[in-house]
């Protein structure tokens, strides 16, 4: 079954290419979408879709809560078949589940 990863706390100048370069150890082709505001800047999150379960687990194990462009990023996986929730609602649920996580924390 196909899975997707939500990546949060991204800098405003994040691009799909920058994320692909950062995730270069993953041997699977990545379908990355950076969510942007009206001015074209990153809204702070992105999704990676159409991932097999094994690749999803590998990405989260190696990259969750690590530094990307000077910021600690958070990752959350979900099944592609789940009912879509608003992305902000998803992140609220995710961050409530983290104990002591501060999404604006910088290393």
Q: Which domains, and CATH codes, for the chain?
A: 3-97 (3.30.70.330)
pTM: 0.72
9 DSSP assignment: S
| Predicted local distance difference test score (pLDDT) of residue 14 | 96
Bridge-based pairing of strands 74-79 and 67-68 is unpaired
Q: What is the mean pLDDT of residues 85-98?
A: 65
Tell me how many degrees the CA angle 41-44-46 measures, rounded to the nearest 5.
95
Q: Is pLDDT at 29 greater than 90 in this prediction? A: no
Q: Give the tens place of pLDDT for each residue, 59-87.
A: 999 999 999 999 999 999 887 665 555 66
């Amino acid at each position: 079954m196909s899975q997707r990863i939500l990546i949060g706390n991204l800098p405003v100048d994040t691009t799909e290419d920058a994320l692909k370069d950062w995730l270069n150890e993953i041997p699977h082709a990545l379908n990355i979408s950076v969510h942007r505001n009206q001015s074209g800047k990153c809204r702070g999150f992105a999704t990676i879709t159409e991932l097999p379960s094994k690749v999803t687990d590998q990405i989260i194990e190696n990259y969750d809560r690590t530094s990307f462009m000077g910021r600690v990023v958070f990752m959350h996986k979900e099944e592609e078949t789940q009912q879509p929730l608003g992305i902000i609602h998803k992140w609220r649920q995710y961050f409530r589940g983290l104990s002591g996580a501060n999404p604006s924390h910088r290393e």
